[in-house]
Amino acid sequence: MSPQRVKFPVRIALLGCGTVGGGVIQLIRDNAEYLASRVGAPLEVTKVLVRDITKDRVPECRPEWLTTDPDAVFGEETDLVVEVMGGEDPANEYLERAIREGKGVVTANKLLLALHGPALVEKSINAGVDLAFEASVGGGIPIIRTLREALTSDWVESVHAILNGTCNYILTKMREEGASFEDALAKAQELGYAEAEPSLDVDGHDAAQKLVVMSMLAFGAKVNIADVPVEGIRSIDELDFRFAERFDMTIKHLAIGYDRGERIELRVHPAMVSKGSVLANISDVLNGALIHGRALGPCLTVGPGAGAMPTAVSVVADIVDVARSKREGEPGLATRGIQMQSRPLVPIDEVDSRYYLRFDVADEPGALATIATALGDQGVSIEQMVQEGRARAAGGAVPVVIITHTGREGAVRRAIESFAEAGFMRGAAKLIRIEDVQGN
Ligand code: NAP
Ligand code: HSE
């Protein structure tokens, strides 16, 4: 079916009316006149697909829009489909149907894009329709547009990004207010930052999905998300923050990408960064993406990475673009510019980094020597070593912290494994990578 030309006004079907969908409806209402002047026609929400029609919605959502029947949101009476429901299925099925029917499509769904982004882009290109997804990465900040448009002339060498507002909020509250992980997470949920399933946030998967989506544009890469090394923030505790402070660093949850020639290096994990680095001071729910272009050098975008209105700003900006290009008879232009190919990933064992290593050990002679020897045997050079205090009780543990020079992760892990079962070890060793953020 050929792409539909938009008739006056632009009729929008929303799939979902939760945190983001509610924000979208409010923003379209609040800025109605201005948006109409940008598009050249009024934007009109006509259908809203939900699971439960009896739930309370934002007051701007008219009850007559609500439906639980997916068939009601497609067909001739809809120009644009805006997917803010989340999840893989049925979202994927609905987007494929919207594309087949020649609708413009806007989505905030990074999980779906991380799993099916390349296929959806290809289908959109073939159908000559726009698929826009600014809100899928970085909430309200323009990361996708920056990569797709502003930096399209340059070669992206690296990306260092804080992409999960919930993790950044929790780490900030732990560091600045001594909040517990559980209390900070509960507050992030209350504020509408967290995913419906918050383990997606705190275990790093949400940031990994966003990194995969960014990589489609930054590195032109199709990536199997299951191959991206991912760690969350559950293991970070107050003692790690104290040691970070002592070394003039702080802890951030980072999504990192490097162009390594044939391969790309992608990883998502907590990282120690210098307190003077631009990412160290991006706090609370803010997200930030430091993109390093070969010709441009560093480029930083910062702003609210989650929540109803910031995310709605990105969704509605996409709606304006897609609606305008349909009205002007040029749909699909933005999506046609996206080119991707499969690129192999650098395995985590081959990553070079500096490391913060923490060992909680029995306060007895020999432990330090064993650890230092094991690292030395693997060619890992120690930059600093600190043992803090004495054990309070017999058999108690003291933390030993080592900062290494740059070394290969596989070697560091082999060293740690060699004494993991030693009698002096009290619990598992902790490894936090130290990231020298380009563009300090
Ligand atoms: P949410 O508050 O849980 O809202 C989801 C909405 O989708 C609800 O209205 C729900 O209906 C509806 N829905 C879910 N499954 C459905 C199904 N099978 N059929 C019909 N309706 C269905 O989620 P959200 O926070 O707004 O997030 C929406 C999307 O935006 C997700 O992809 C998320 O990752 C992304 N996103 C969120 C944020 C954020 O800050 N929250 C930021 C950026 C991107 P009911 O209300 O009837 O249950
Ligand atoms: N749960 C996500 C976050 C929402 O905390 O960043 C924005 O994608």
Query: Has 222 been annotated as catalytic?
Result: no
114 Cβ below 6 A of ligand 2? no
162-181 mean pLDDT: 96
Token pair recorded at residue 67:
């439906």
311 and 319 Cβ atoms separated by less than 8 Å: no
134 Cβ below 6 A of ligand 2? no
**Is pLDDT larger for residue 71 or for residue 331?**
71
> Is the pLDDT at 440 greater than 60, yes or no?
no
- What pTM did the predictor assign? 0.95
215 Cβ below 6 A of ligand 1? no
- The residue ranges of every structural domain in the chain are 10-139+308-341, 144-304, 348-434
Q: What percent of the chain has pLDDT over 90?
A: 88
pLDDT tens for residues 209-227? Answer: 999 999 999 999 999 999 9
CA pair distance 433, 168, nearest whole angstrom:
17
Task: Give the model's pLDDT for residue 252.
Answer: 98
pLDDT tens for residues 342-370? Answer: 999 999 999 999 999 999 999 888 889 99
Match domain 10-139+308-341 to its CATH number in 1.10.1520.10, 3.40.50.620, 3.40.50.720, 3.20.20.70: 3.40.50.720
382-398 mean pLDDT: 76
130-153 mean pLDDT: 96
> Is the pLDDT at 381 greater than 60, yes or no?
yes
pLDDT tens for residues 414-431? Answer: 999 999 999 999 999 999
Superfamily grouping for domain 348-434: ACT domain (3.30.70.260)
Task: Give the model's pLDDT for residue 391.
Answer: 52
pLDDT tens for residues 37-86? Answer: 999 999 999 999 999 999 999 999 999 999 999 999 999 999 999 999 99
Token pair recorded at residue 122:
């290809």
Task: Give the model's pLDDT for residue 46.
Answer: 97
306 Cβ below 6 A of ligand 1? yes
Residue 255: strand pairing partners:
161, 268
CA pair distance 425, 397, nearest whole angstrom:
8
Between the alpha carbon of residue 134 and those of residues 140, 307, 317, 361, the distances in Å are: 8, 14, 8, 47
Q: Give me the CATH code for the 144-304 domain, please.
A: 3.30.360.10
Radius of gyration of the chain (CA): 24
130 and 10 Cβ atoms separated by less than 8 Å: no
Task: Give the model's pLDDT for residue 356.
Answer: 98
Q: What percent of the chain has pLDDT over 70?
A: 96
**Average pLDDT value for the chain:** 94
Q: How far is the CA of 108 from the centre of ligand 1 (A)?
A: 9
108 and 311 Cβ atoms separated by less than 8 Å: yes
Q: Do domains 10-139+308-341 and 144-304 have the same CATH topology?
A: no
Task: Give the model's pLDDT for residue 333.
Answer: 82
pLDDT tens for residues 234-278? Answer: 999 999 999 999 999 999 999 999 999 999 999 999 999 999 999
288-299 mean pLDDT: 97
Residue 4 buriedness (CB in 10 A; 0-12 / 13-18 / 19+): middle
pLDDT tens for residues 81-129? Answer: 999 999 999 999 999 999 999 999 999 999 999 999 999 999 999 999 9
Q: Which residue CA neighbors atom 38 of ligand 1 most closely?
A: 306
Mutation test residue for ligand 1: of 83, 166, 311, 316, the one with most atoms within 8 Å of CB: 311
Task: Give the model's pLDDT for residue 4.
Answer: 57
Q: Which residue CA neighbors atom 4 of ligand 2 most closely?
A: 306
Q: Which residue CA neighbors atom 7 of ligand 2 most closely?
A: 306
35 and 316 Cβ atoms separated by less than 8 Å: yes
